[in-house]
Amino acid sequence: MITIIDYGSGNLRSVAKALEVAGGAVRVSGLPEDVKNAGHLVLPGVGAFADCRHNLDRSGLIPPLLDHIQAGKPFLGICVGMQLLFGEGHEFGVHPGLDLVSGKVVRFANDMPDPHDPNQKLKIPHMGWNRVRQTGVHPLWGGIPDETHFYFVHSYHGVADHPAHVAAWCDHGVRFTAAIARDNLFGTQFHPEKSQEAGLRLLKNFVAWRP
C-alpha cells in the first residue's frame, strides 16, 4: 500500500491519481497509524516551508514518518515535501527541517539576469518545463533518458551539503538541486504528477522500488 501523507498541504488528488495510473494501490491519510503501516510513503507539499513543517508537527506525523524511513521502506518527497528533508528552510525566517539530508533551502535571488535575455531579470517563481540532468544511476531514473524535461513550480530550492545526495540538477539562472537521493529516500523538486509521460515513468519506478 502506498500512503500519501495528508497534513493539510499538498496536491493530494493529482498525486493519488497519478500513482494509481502508475499501478499503485493508494491511500491518502493523515492518521499516524496509516503512515506507520505504509509500504511506500509519499510526502507532497505546496506552500511555505514553515507552515508545512508546522502542520506535520501538529498532526503527530513526524515520528511514524521517521520510523518508516528508519525501517528502510521507500519514501518519496515532492516539491516542499522534498525540501522538508533538508536541515533547514530559509523562507520567512530560518526554520528546522527533518534533517534527513544535510543542507538548506534558499530562495532564488531576485536580481539575477535571465540567461536567455540579459536585459531581463530572472523570473521567480521558476515555473514550467525544464531539463533535468541526472547525476548517476538510480532505480527511479529507470527508462528515463538524461536531460528529460519535468514540470517545476517553486521559488525556493535545496542546497545539499554533500554532492552524493544530489540525484539530479537543473539550471534556472543558477544550477540547483532537482532531485535528491539517499538510501531509501528520493525527493523531487519538480512535480512528477504534472510531468506527463516522464513523471508517470518515475512514479511507476517508485511503485516497483524495493531499496
Q: What CATH number has the domain bearing residue 61?
A: 3.40.50.880
Tell me the average pLDDT across 75-82.
97
pLDDT of residue 45: 85
> How many Å is the maximal CA-CA distance in the chain?
54
Contact (CB, 8 A) for 201 and 136: no
pLDDT of residue 115: 63
The C-alpha angle 207, 176, 144, rounded to 5 degrees, equals 35
What's the domain count of the chain? 1
pLDDT of residue 63: 96
- Compute CA distances 67 → 35, 84, 131, whole Å: 9, 16, 34
Q: So which residues are the catalytic ones?
A: 79, 191, 193
Grid-cell match 523570473, residue found: 123
Instruction: Indicate the pTM of the whole model.
Output: 0.94
pLDDT of residue 116: 63
Q: In DSSP terms, which residues pair with 107 in a beta bridge?
A: 156
18-28 pLDDT, tens digit each: 999 999 999 99
Tell me the average pLDDT across 64-73.
96
Residue 196: pLDDT band (50, 70, 90) is very high
Residue 102: give the domain boundaries.
2-208
